[in-house]
Amino acid sequence: MNYTIGLIPGDGIGPDIVTASCKVLDAVGAKFGHKFTYNTYLAGGCAIDATGDPLPKETLDGCLKSDAVLLGAVGGPKWDNLPGKKRPEQALMGLRGGMKVFANLRPALMFKQLSAACPLKNEIVGNGLDILIVRELTGGIYFGERGRNADNTAAWDTEHYTKPEIERILRLGFESAQKRNKRLCLVDKANILESSRMWREVAVAIKDEYKDVELSYMYVDNAAMQLVRNPSQFDVIVTSNMFGDILSDEASQITGSIGMLASASLGDGSGPGLYEPIHGSAPDIAGQDKANPLATILSCAMMLRYSFNLTKEADLIERAVNKVLDDGWRTGDIAGSDFDKIKAEGKLVGTVKMSQLVIDAVNQL
Ligand code: NAD
């Protein structure tokens, strides 16, 4: 099969990790007989420099015509002092809105080989950690009505959700749970918020269509606590935009390695999905061949699984990453306290070598 991928390398380490990841995709394509065609577009700081606009029309149009989009990261100190609408991060909001991707899927996966990097005690995460957070991305308080009163003594933001908005994200939560360990936890604040009570009503109305999934509810304050007390109790969490924003960052910190975490943003299936690592453009290590490409490579695995339905191919990338870690190879960010030992053993590698090791594993497995 042929697939067209819109590439947005972006700024900082973005171009390095995107280039490295495409090479892995090509290796998988060669093994299974798929062809990936890449069209590269500008977004973020580099787009501001070239066109004055963080998300040029050509970029959004090109992405919408692609089968899927891979994004590196945008932003950096050079553009930090620009006004709100002109900032590189506007490109992210514009892409999400323009591509109508209403669900953000963020796995918080702790690789057992990297458990030393986890800030929690071994007795809490000894059995590893594998949670999927499904966050609503285009509604709620970040998009609701906001304002200030005339004399500037009060301000408000509104949590606003319609039943169809709630239903489509809950269905994605149920479907994701069906593909995993069949447990879905709806995180909300239904003891206080009317909108949360509507989320529960909709969940009750559709849950019988997913009889194989066990549905539970948890208040968000409790969920924040449970994530550090006993994170393995969760399989899939589904939640609103703001709660998901906060909880997914908390969950990713628990895994201890920002350079390992992938994400997918999906719509109703009629358009392309958007795939990106959860980290930023890491300007402190840009252009030094130090960036860990694994989060972007694992985002490509999500692309193969969710956008192209290529399960075997996605599994192969994940197994290849595991093999490279099993063999002891590390980039600086995941070397942890063993940094000097790993360096002395010659197993400390940069972006280019790490992606080549994954390609070698893809070819071997
Ligand atoms: P960051 O994620 O870029 O970096 C945080 C720390 O993690 C840095 O020390 C960095 O070196 C390290 N790090 C991040 N990714 C790494 C990787 N793949 N390999 C090795 N180390 C890695 O966050 P920040 O410093 O807060 O933000 C830097 C810029 O990125 C800002 O302009 C910010 O707005 C932008 N940003 C963009 C996105 C995005 O494009 N989706 C997300 C977050 C931040």
Whole-number Å distance between alpha carbons of 283 and 203: 42
For residue 172, pLDDT beyond 90: yes
Kindly state whether residues 216 and 227 are assigned to the same domain: yes
Residue 126 has pLDDT above 90, yes or no: no
Entry pTM: 0.91
Q: What pLDDT was estimated at residue 179? A: 87
Residues 138 and 225 occupy one common structural domain = yes
Q: Does residue 115 carry a pLDDT above 90?
A: no
Q: What is the pLDDT of residue 4?
A: 98
Domain shared by 256 and 306, yes or no: no
Extract the runs of DSSP E, i.e. beta strands, from 16-127: 35-40, 68-73, 103-110
Please identify which of the residues 188, 245, 275, 333 carries the catalytic annotation. Answer: 245
One domain, residues 255 and 294: no
- CA 74 to ligand 1: nearest atom: 40
Q: Which two tokens stand for residue 350?
A: 């940069």
Of 237, 267, 297, which closes a domain?
Answer: 267
Domain termination site, one of 267, 301, 324? 267
pLDDT digits (tens, 9 = 90+) for 194-228: 999 999 999 999 999 999 999 999 999 999 999 99
**If you search the block for the tokens 């990453």, which residue do you land on?**
321
Q: What is the CATH number of the domain that holds 127?
A: 3.40.718.10
Minimum mean pLDDT range among 30-34, 112-116, 345-349: 112-116
In angstroms, the CA 313 to CA 340 distance is 35
- Is-contact 216 186, C-beta < 8 A? yes
Contact between 48 and 79 (Cβ < 8 Å):
yes
178 and 321 fall within a common domain:
no
322 vs 28: CA distance, rounded Å: 16
Query: What is the structure's pLDDT at 110?
Result: 86
What is the rounded CA–CA span in Å between residue 139 and residue 143?
Answer: 5
Predicted confidence (pLDDT) at residue 256 exceeds the cutoff of 80: no
Q: Work out the average pLDDT over 268-279.
A: 94
Q: DSSP label at 291?
A: -
Tell me, in angstroms, the distance from the centre of ligand 1 to residue 277's CA: 10
Task: Return d(Cα 296, Cα 281) in angstroms, integer.
Answer: 12
Strand partners, 216: 185
For residues 297-313, average pLDDT: 96
Whole-number mean pLDDT of the chain? 94
Same domain, 257 and 359: no
**Are 92 and 166 contained in the same domain?**
no
Shortest CA distance to 98 belongs to which of 134, 138, 130, 131? 138
The predicted pLDDT at position 11 comes to 98
What is the model's pLDDT at position 336?
80
Residue 79 and residue 132 share a domain: no
Whether residue 88 is found in the same domain as residue 234:
no
189 is catalytic: yes
Contacts of 1 (CB under 8 A, 6+ apart): 33, 34, 35, 308
Report yes or no: 332 and 257 within 8 Å, Cβ to Cβ. Answer: no
| Residue 76 beta carbon below 6 angstroms from any ligand 1 atom | yes
Structure tokens at 359: 């390609």
Task: Give the pLDDT confidence of 280-293 residue by residue, as tens digits.
Answer: 999 999 999 999 99
Told to judge if 130 belongs to the known catalytic residues of this protein, a careful annotator would answer no
Residues 263, 278 within the same domain: no
Split into its structural domains, the chain has a count of 2
Same domain, 111 and 198: yes
Among 267, 283, 311, identify where a domain stops: 267
For residues 10 and 108, membership in a common domain is answered with: no
Q: What is the span of the domain harbouring residue 63?
A: 1-100+271-365
